[in-house]
Structure 1
Amino acid sequence: MFEFLKVDVEGAEQEVLLNGDWQSFRPKVVVVEALAPYTLAPAWPAWEPFLAKHGYRYVWFDSLNRYYLAEEAKELAHCLETAPCAFEEVFQFRTVKPALVDARHPDHRLAKLLAGSDMTHLPLLGRDLLLERVTAGIGCAALEQAAGADAIAEATERVFGPQGRLSGKGLKLPPVPRLREVYAALFPQAMPGKTPFACPALPALAIRRDGL
């Protein structure tokens, strides 16, 4: 027995559903991708009546999938009926071009900082060199200055753009951080040292010869 079924087969949902044994196997929740590939046209008219005939009631659409409850699990309806119909904060990377050429990409600012450097030809980069590249153009004296809330916010926006998810509150910093320490804290485990820093660990950042 199983209680949850997700059907996502790129346009073949109707074939999967219509050939299921809905008498012997009764998952409580059935989730089906409901938009046709590429066109995003509604696909559920082809199979929703079939599910209804077998005792599955539609309860929720999350903008891509439709959710159905078995009659014998109707007590779960309240868990889905109040769920959001869309997730506005979710970023779909399939809708943007590479970070270096698309200002909408979350890593666009960081890609611009690193563009043209020899690191784009390397799969692995030392932490100290990474920080050197990211802070290029900032004077040594400025990097040694104490960084207040405004400086921390400016550094975060410089690297990740105005939509960056990090904030000063989420960074591991000393009580009175220097600007150099702020930049180091923007990268996971990127404090000064010799341990290599794998560039793909950056959020959604992939480094290739043809751009970021």
Structure 2
Amino acid sequence: MLTVFLRSIITYIFLLFIMRLMGKRQLSELQPFEFVITLIVAELACIPMSDTSIPLSYGIIPMFTMFILHILITKLASKNHRFNRFLNGTPVVLISPKGIDHRLLDKLDMNVTDLLHALRAAGYFYPNQVAYAIMETNGTLSVLPKSAFAPATPEDLSVEVEDSEMPYPIICEGTFFADNLLLTGISEESVDDLLKKHDMRRKDVLLLTCDKQKEVYLQPYVGDAVIGEKICNE
């Protein structure tokens, strides 16, 4: 029993290491060959964990081989356009100004209901709002709305706005991130003063963020959020 426990831990750590090296992607963003490799690696990880008569190396070595194969295929696909097109396919225009192309829907083994669902997920409930809808090689639908239905931007309205600033987490679920103080230009004392002002301690904070303009978002575990307040630096 202890052997199975230890083998499972070792396999998990190695599998986690391999998946981190392969990059961060959601399953919905994987290319077909990446999805296949992920399935194979998952199956290989199960073999030495479920059968103690099989040496642990019989699972680890094939997993490492799949990682090397993934790197080689990725590099080759990035250098060779034809190979990349063969491996991943090409984007398909399902909706154009001419309308919905049902032949391409059939080619992708999709129906109109699938297309309407994908459009709603993108925020468009009527096909006539869409100028182009493109099925990407990873299975996601990219939508370009018609100009009349596109969200208005400050540029469209001739309104000048300040550039958005990146907020950095200072406290997250009670944990204090001191390294981010340098990125925002605030001090630890000013953070404590802010919390004291609102009768809080660090462990009471669900989330505290601050940007370079020293504008904070403070959400306690209990109570309403404090939004838009400027932190006073000392």
- TM-score, length-scaled by structure 1: 0.23
Greater fraction of residues in strand: 2
Query: Which of these two proteins has the greater Rg computed from alpha carbons?
Result: 2
Greater fraction of residues in helix: 2
Q: Which one has more relative contact order, counting CA pairs under 8 Å at least 6 apart?
A: 1
